């Protein structure tokens, strides 16, 4: 399954399961670890676990074997690694604190300038 197809499946499953503020970031030109990062808010830690479980089940149905699941039951941030897509499920408070969207949304030109020291 292509990464752009997988990200759409993940988004759809999250939407069906009442995930909040779903955002997908194309990070293909920023990192070699994955193609997309999907960030979603959950209403509680139980909801976060449920979202990860449902996405994991759907991925397996489509022949995508998850590489890992991080975060404990009761955690405010869970990560599901599907290879080409990494899913971050966070409570609203954790999402506001860590601001992953801001971290991964830096334009490529700004990244290269900061590495070279150019203004």
Which class would CATH give 3-99? alpha beta
Euclidean distance between CA atoms 37 and 51, whole angstroms: 15
Q: Where are the domains of the chain?
A: 3-99
CA 11 – CA 9 distance, rounded (Å): 5
Q: What is the pTM of this model?
A: 0.86
Give which of 11, 13, 18 is closest to 43, Cα–Cα: 18
- pLDDT tens digits for 29-51? 888 999 999 999 999 999 999 99
Nearest alpha-carbon partner for 10 in 82, 102, 71, 63:
82
Q: Sign of the CA dihedral 63, 31, 96, 4?
A: negative
> And the tokens for 112?
């290269």
pLDDT in tens, 58-110: 999 999 999 999 997 778 999 999 999 999 999 999 999 999 988 887 665 55
């Amino acid at each position: 399954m292509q990464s752009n197809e997988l990200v759409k499946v993940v988004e759809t499953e999250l939407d069906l399961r009442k995930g909040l503020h779903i955002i997908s970031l194309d990070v293909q030109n920023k990192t070699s670890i994955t193609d997309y990062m999907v960030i979603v808010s959950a209403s509680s830690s139980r909801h976060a676990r449920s979202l990860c479980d449902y996405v994991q089940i759907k991925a397996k149905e489509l022949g995508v074997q998850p590489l890992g699941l991080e975060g404990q039951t009761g955690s405010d941030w869970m990560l599901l690694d599907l290879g080409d897509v990494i899913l971050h499920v966070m409570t609203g408070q954790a999402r506001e604190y860590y601001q992953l969207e801001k971290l991964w949304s830096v334009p490529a030109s700004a990244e290269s300038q900061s590495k070279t020291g150019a203004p």
